[in-house]
Amino acid sequence: MATVAAPPANAAFGSVVRIDSGLIEGIPALTPGVMVFEGIPYAAPPVGDLRWKPPQPVEPWPVPRNVDRFGPVCLQHHPGTSSWDFFGDYEAQSEDCLYVNVWTPAKSSHDRLPVLVWIYGGGFGFGSGTVRLYHGDNLAAKGAVVVTFNYRLGVFGFLAHPELTKESGRNASGNYGLMDQVAALQWVRRNIAAFGGDPNRVAIFGESAGGGSVNFMQATPLAKGLFQRAIAESGGQFSRYGPPSGELRLAEAEQAGLRFAQGLGASSLADLRCRPAEQLLRAASGFSPGVPIIDGYVLPEDVYSIFAEGKENDVPVLVGSNSDEGTSLRVPRPTMDTPQLQTELARLYPPDQEEKIISGVMLWIMRTWARLETKTGTHQAYEYYFSHHPPFPADAKFEGDVTHFGAFHGAEIIYVFNNLAIRKSRNWPWQAWDWKLADIMSSYWANFAANGDPNGPGLPTWPAYDDSHPQVMNFGNAVQAIPLPRRAELEFWEKVNHPQPTASPATK
C-alpha cells in the first residue's frame, strides 16, 4: 500500500478520503468531474474460520491505502460471454471478495448528494459489482453518489447445515450473501458522507437476482433504516414460478447442505472449512440451494407474507419489467395445480410463444410489489414497462439459439446507467433515440434516489401507481404513461399464485 497524505481539516473534496477503517485515495473516473474509489474492503475476508459466518468488521489499516483497482470478484462458475457482454470483463476471482466501489461527483464532503447502491443479478450464483456495464461514472454525473459491491454467491453464500445452524446462536444458517448485502449497506450508512453522500437518501437498486435482493432487503428486519428508497428491475420474490427460484425453508436447505458435504466425503463442518475453496466450487456446480432461505432470522417469513402483513421496510418503490424477458431468461414451462389452469396456460402461451411465460410472470411480480407497497405501506410506488428493442450488430451472437432479442431480460440496465458509450467502440449501432432514452431513464433513477419520486423538470410525467387505475411508464419508442398491459396474463398469474377459496354452499 503506497503512502498518501492525509487531507487537511475541512478541505474541499479530493482524491483522499477518511473512512472508519482508515485513509484511502481514489482516482479520477472516466467521466470528468467524477472520482472513483475501487476495491474498498467493507468486511473482513470470509476465509478460514470465517467461511460461512456473518461478515465481520474490517481490520483498520494503519497507513493510507490506494484504492485504484477493483478487488477480486466472489468465487463462481463464469457463465461465459454473449454479444450483450454482461459478464465478459471480470477481475480475478477469490474467496476474499467483500469489496465496495464508489463513484462520486461531490465537490465537498458536505454536499449530501443522494446515493444509489447497486446490487447485481446472476441468480445468486454469478455476477459482480465490477462489470463494466455497472460502472457508475455516467450515472454519478447525474448528481448522485453511486456504489457497487460484491456479495458471496452459490455454496459460499447460501450453504445451510445443521452444524452451522447450531453454532450461529440464532438457530439459523445460510443467507450469508444476504448478510453481506446488509453489511455493505451498513458500511454505506457509516461512510458515505465522507464521499459527499447523504446517508438519509440512500436508494438500493438491482436487476434480476439483484432486484430479488432489493426485495429481500425490504423484507429483512436486519436492513431496517439502512435505505430510504427501493428500485427493482425484473426481479422479486412473490411468485412460485420464475426467478429467483423460490425461497427454501431452513430444514430443506440444511438437508441439501448435508448432501453436499456427504458428496465431498466431509464428515464435519470443520472438515468443510478446511477444504480448498476451488474444490468446493467444483463440487458445487450442481448445488441447487444457492438461493435465500427462510431461516427465521434474516428472513422471518416468506416475502409475500411479510409484505401482505405490512412488515416490510416501508419506503417508496420504483419497479418494473421488460416486454421480452424470455428471449434471454429461459425457464421450464411450469406445471399447474389443476387441469383447468393447465388449459388456461396453454391458451395464453401456445408452444410457439413459450418465451412469453416468464415475461408475464415477471410483470405480475413487479405489479404485485407495487400493489402491496401501496396497500400495506405508507409510500407511493412507480411502475415501468421497458419495451424498447436495443439495436444489435448484424453479426450479433446471443445465448442459446435465440435469433430475436426484443426488450430482453436485462436490456434496460445499460440505459439506466447511461453507459451506451462503453460499446460505442464495438460498432454498436446505437441510434439517436437510444442515447435520448438512456439520458431520460438515468435521470428518472437519479431523481428517485433524491426525492422518492422519479419526476423532474423536462421529463414526461410519471404517475404514481394507483390500483384502481393502474398505469406504467412505458420505455419504448416513446416515453409515456400507458394503462397496465397484458391484463389477461396478470389475472391468470394472480389466480395461480393466490387462488381464492371456493365458497361452500353454506356461505354462498
Q: What is the pLDDT of residues 221-254, one digit of tens each?
A: 999 999 999 999 999 999 876 555 457 899 999 9
> Mind listing the pLDDT tens digit for each residue in 364-390?
999 999 999 999 999 999 999 999 999
CB 264 within 8 A of CB 275: yes
215 phi and psi angles, rounded to 5 deg: -60, -45
Please give the average per-residue pLDDT across 185-196, as a whole number.
Answer: 98
Answer yes or no: is pLDDT of 303 > 80.
yes
Mean pLDDT lowest for which of 4-8, 63-67, 422-426, 474-478?
4-8
Task: With respect to residue 472, please indicate whether it lies within any of the assigned structural domains.
Answer: yes
94 is known as an active-site residue:
no
pLDDT tens for 432-477 read 999 999 999 999 999 999 999 999 999 999 999 999 999 999 999 9
Q: Report pLDDT for 89.
A: 55
Please check whether residue 1 lies inside any domain of the structure.
Answer: no
Residue tagged active-site, from 135, 161, 388, 409: 409
pLDDT of residue 477: 96
For the chain, the average pLDDT equals: 90
Residue 411 is classified by DSSP as T
CA-nearest of 143, 90, 195, 193 to 418 is 143
pLDDT tens for 131-186 read 999 999 999 999 999 999 999 999 999 999 999 999 999 999 999 999 999 999 99
Q: What is the per-residue pLDDT for 396?
A: 65
pLDDT for position 330: 78
- Distance, in Å, from the CA atom of 487 to the CA atom of 360, rounded to the nearest integer, reads 10
Is residue 363 exposed (0-12), middle (13-18) or buried (19+ Cβ within 10 Å)? Answer: buried
Which pLDDT score, from 0 to 100, does residue 146 have? 98
Range of the domain at 81: 16-497
Count of structural domains within the chain: 1
Q: What is residue 363's DSSP assignment?
A: H
**Distance from CA of residue 335 to its chain's centroid?**
28
CATH of the domain at 409: 3.40.50.1820
pLDDT per residue over 305-342, tens digit each? 999 999 999 999 999 999 999 988 878 888 998 999 99
What is the DSSP code string of 350-418? -GGGTTHHHHHHHHHHHHHHHHHHHHHSSS-EEEEEE-------TT---STT----SS-TTTTHHHHTT
Q: Residue 422 — very low, low, confident or very high, per pLDDT cuts 50/70/90?
A: confident
Catalytic residue among 109, 208, 239, 442: 208
Hey, which of 43-47, 74-78, 79-83, 89-93 has the most confident mean pLDDT?
43-47
**Cα–Cα distance for residue pair 286/145, rounded to 1 Å:** 38
Does residue 395 have a pLDDT over 70? no
pLDDT at residue 399, rounded to an integer:
57
In percent, how much of the chain has pLDDT > 90? 79
pLDDT at 80 over 80: no
3-state helix, strand, coil in the chain (%, to 5): 35, 15, 50
Locate the DSSP E strands across 195-336: 197-207, 229-233, 248-249, 293-294, 317-322
Query: Is residue 145 situated within a structural domain?
Result: yes
Q: What is the model's pTM?
A: 0.94
Per-residue pLDDT band for 506 (boundaries 50, 70, 90) equals very low
Residue 408 lies in a domain: yes
Type and span of the H or E element at 239: none
Has residue 104 been placed in a domain?
yes
Evaluate whether residue 409 is within a structural domain. yes
Residue in 25, 38, 91, 325 annotated catalytic: 325
DSSP state of 241: S
Residue 83 has pLDDT above 50, yes or no: no
| 388 annotated active-site | no
Residue 167 is among the residues annotated as catalytic for this protein: no
- What average pLDDT does range 423-427 have in this prediction? 58
> Cα dihedral angle (216, 70, 100, 234), rounded to 10 degrees?
-30
Has residue 112 been placed in a domain? yes
Contact (CB, 8 A) for 277 and 77? no
* Residue 180, domain member (yes or no): yes
Average pLDDT over residues 174-199: 98
> Alpha-carbon distance 457 to 317, whole Å?
20
- Strands of 30-163, DSSP E: 35-41, 65-66, 73-74, 93-94, 99-104, 113-119, 145-149
d(CA 407, CA 74): 29
The SS3 of residue 441 is helix
Vertex 201, ends 197 and 202: CA angle to 5°? 85
| Alpha carbon distance 66, 146 (integer Å) | 19
